[in-house]
Amino acid sequence: MNVLVVGGAGYIGSHCVRQLQLAGHRPVVLDSLVFGHRAAVAPDVPFFDAELGDEEAVGAILQSESIDVVMHFAAFAYVGESVSDPLKYYFNNSVATLHLLRAMLKQNVKKFVFSSTCATYGVPQDLPIVESTPQAPINPYGQTKLDVENALKATAHAHGLSFAAFRYFNAAGAAEDGSIGEDHNPETHLIPLVIDAATGKRPNIQIFGTDYPTPDGTCLRDYVHVDDLSRAHIAVFDKLEEPGAAHFLNLGTGTPTSVREVISTVEKVTGKKVPVVESPRRDGDPPALYANAAKAKTELGWQVQYPDIESTVRTAWKWHSAHPNGYADR
């Protein structure tokens, strides 16, 4: 398949590009490089520095590269910022995606894979989260992703678009060979921050909340390896052959891991002590989010290759220890 990877220079997108190549597909990357890294994409992959909302530019690429499937990873994903600057999120995550979809329909490209999120569930009543768990986002970030899910459903019905919307839990880890990995600026995610605290790049890690109703008082999350996420995107291709197919699938390991468990795993993997500061809760953090990913297993035959936090943290450590300054070290 010729696959346009929108946001292919970002964290998850760049890993998916690699997996597409390994599976024998032909990725083409579109990325505005606002957050993406040119060095995260191999030089042999066609690369277009363009805006996903630019229908003319996207249309030209869809045509010239004979694109069969579009994967869309490009979104702003800072929950706190989405609360303080909601229009930035509505324009970039929702409106720009609608332009991308319209450019696709104009070129008769009707297969789409979308990066959605467990943030669409808000604070779930029941755990683990299944796809039918009510979606009630508690911030604009989650709302913009849910808005796109709804637009996709309607577009599938009206125009025969076939799509998969993957609801990611906490994407984590890095390529097994340590060549690409996570490099956000600013970084807000737990695992890279804990690694920085272990190496002394940061003075400590703040634990946001130690009084949650969880076994050790810290939040539970479901850390799923970025290459496992990527493989699901490829496994769904067969399902997109049917016009109008609509798939909503959770992608997680199903195993909850606490903040304290992440810290002790980083200490074990790095062999270094992590200085910890117990801090107040961070606004908007649900106490526990973890997936029931049985649907992806049944429908796609998806099996995670990194089922435990230690194997995921090992890959993150390989990347961060070789590239303490991220892509600036490449």
Contacts to ligand UFG by CB under 6 A: 77, 79, 117-119, 141, 170, 188-190, 193, 205-208, 219, 221, 259, 282, 285, 289
Spot the catalytic one: 89, 121, 141, 168.
141
Beta-carbon contacts of 60 under 8 Å, excluding residues fewer than 6 positions away, are: none
**Which lies closer to ligand UFG via its Cβ, residue 45 or residue 79?**
79
**Which lies closer to ligand UFG via its Cβ, residue 48 or residue 141?**
141
**Which lies closer to ligand UFG via its Cβ, residue 12 or residue 69?**
12
HSE value, Cβ hemisphere, 13 Å, CA-based, for 273: 3
141 is catalytic: yes
User: Could you tell me if residue 303 is left (phi over 0), alpha (psi between -120 and 50 degrees) or otherwise beta?
Assistant: beta
CB of 6 to ligand UFG, least distance (A): 17
**Which lies closer to ligand UFG via its Cβ, residue 2 or residue 35?**
35
Q: Determine the Cα–Cα distance for residues 97 and 90; give it in Å rounded to an integer.
A: 10
Residue 316 in contact with residue 178, Cβ under 8 Å? no
3-state helix, strand, coil in the chain (%, to 5): 40, 15, 40
CB of 209 to ligand UFG, least distance (A): 6
CB of 186 to ligand UFG, least distance (A): 11
Residue 138 in contact with residue 153, Cβ under 8 Å? no
Residue 32 in contact with residue 39, Cβ under 8 Å? no
CB of 97 to ligand UFG, least distance (A): 16
Helices (H), 5-164: 11-22, 55-64, 79-84, 86-89, 96-106, 140-159
Q: Mind telling me the catalytic residues?
A: 141
